Amino acid sequence: MEQILRPIYQERASSPETLGVILVEKRDDGDPITDTFDEILLIITSNDEVPIYTKHYTDGEGKAAMHVINEKQLRKWLLLGTRRKVVDWLFYGKIFFDRNEFVEGLKNELKEYPFYGRKIKMGIELARLVRAYMEGKNFFEQKNYMDAYHHAIQSLHYLARLTVIEKGFSPEVTVWAQVKRIDPAIYKLYEELIMSEEPLEKKLKLLFLASEFFIHNRTADGAQHILEVMETKEHWTIQELHEHEELRMYSIDLENLVEFLIEKGFIQIVQSESKNELVFHRDYKVKQRPHT
């Protein structure tokens, strides 16, 4: 397939908008890195008109996918951790074209991981973790154990990613292999949930108790980003928080996180008068900065 793809990536490399061309080959039949394709051709471009453009190819036997991604979209994925395979593609793919060492520079940024959006990534994972945990616990208390189990698995996954980021690494597709090395206690918790023969109710009860401990220990570090943003103003309306360029990335989990941080004593409610004398505006300010 590489020989067949060669004219395609050579043509792309000739464009002044192309920043890099990377070829990723399937390593074995069970490897998910190429999304079942034999090869992935990743083209990074400076053209902002189309964030993502994809084509599929075949020579009658093998199959390949070409993804053209603009730099802005790629950096957003890397910051938010929403396309984890892209990190593998950057590190394990063959670089066939690299304008002004753009790809190598991007890889170096990722290697210096603690400085590449670490705080915002931790904040986003904490927000996801808190939502999944609280919703799962609510289902558990209602005795909806299968729904609680689903959210428990989700919360453990977010806890795993938060732990990996906390240690200064980038979460990979095989995040649990990382966690097994980095934090065996969390790996053991996950293993118990999915493999233990204990009744589901008992497993979930133990999991939610343990998760509360793990979340408590990570709240101060995970909340650094949102608290640092909020310290730039005296107080915020919820709409101002939603519209902030970085906090917008927390998406639907933002309000849930704010309420959680109020409960934990990091954020304070500020009441102000509204046009209706019977009701107040509910704004927010940083109450307590975590120790770093």
**Neighbouring C-beta atoms of residue 214, cutoff 10 Å:** 20
Q: Which of 27-36, 171-180, 260-269 has the highest mean predicted lDDT (pLDDT)?
A: 260-269
pTM for this predicted structure: 0.72
19 plus 50 within the same structural domain: yes
Low-confidence winner among 11-15, 137-141, 286-290 (lowest mean pLDDT)? 286-290
Rounded CA separation 211/16 (Å): 50
Q: What local confidence, expressed as pLDDT, does residue 292 receive?
A: 47
Rounded CA separation 130/260 (Å): 8
**Neighbouring C-beta atoms of residue 87, cutoff 10 Å:** 18
102 plus 20 within the same structural domain: yes
280 plus 184 within the same structural domain: yes
Q: Are strands 39-45 and 63-70 parallel, antiparallel or unpaired?
A: parallel
The CATH number of the domain where 35 resides is what?
Answer: 3.30.460.10
Residue 144: both structure tokens together: 């909806």
146 plus 280 within the same structural domain: yes
Q: Is the pLDDT of residue 290 over 50?
A: no
- Total count of domains within the chain: 2
Low-confidence winner among 191-195, 211-215, 269-273 (lowest mean pLDDT)? 269-273
pLDDT digits (tens, 9 = 90+) for 10-67: 888 899 999 999 999 887 776 678 888 889 999 999 998 878 999 999 988 889 999 9
Q: Would you say residue 292 lies in a domain? A: no
Rounded CA separation 198/154 (Å): 20
Q: Would you say residue 291 lies in a domain? A: no
Among 87, 111, 135, residue at a domain's last position: 111
Rounded CA separation 107/268 (Å): 40
Helix (H/G/I), strand (E/B), else coil: 51:
coil
Among 111, 137, 169, residue at a domain's last position: 111
Its domain, for residue 79, covers 2-111
Q: Would you say residue 279 lies in a domain? A: yes
Among 74, 91, 111, residue at a domain's last position: 111
Beta-strand ranges (E) seen in the chain are 18-25, 39-45, 52-58, 63-70, 94-98, 267-273, 280-286
32 plus 154 within the same structural domain: no
Helix (H/G/I), strand (E/B), else coil: 286:
strand
Q: Would you say residue 197 lies in a domain? A: yes
Pairwise pLDDT comparison (142 vs 251), residue with the higher score = 142
53 plus 159 within the same structural domain: no
Q: Is the pLDDT of residue 263 over 90?
A: yes
The CATH number of the domain where 128 resides is what?
Answer: 1.20.120.330
Asked if 94 contacts 70 with a C-beta cutoff of 8 angstroms, the reply is: no
142 plus 233 within the same structural domain: yes
9 plus 146 within the same structural domain: no
Q: Would you say residue 161 lies in a domain? A: yes
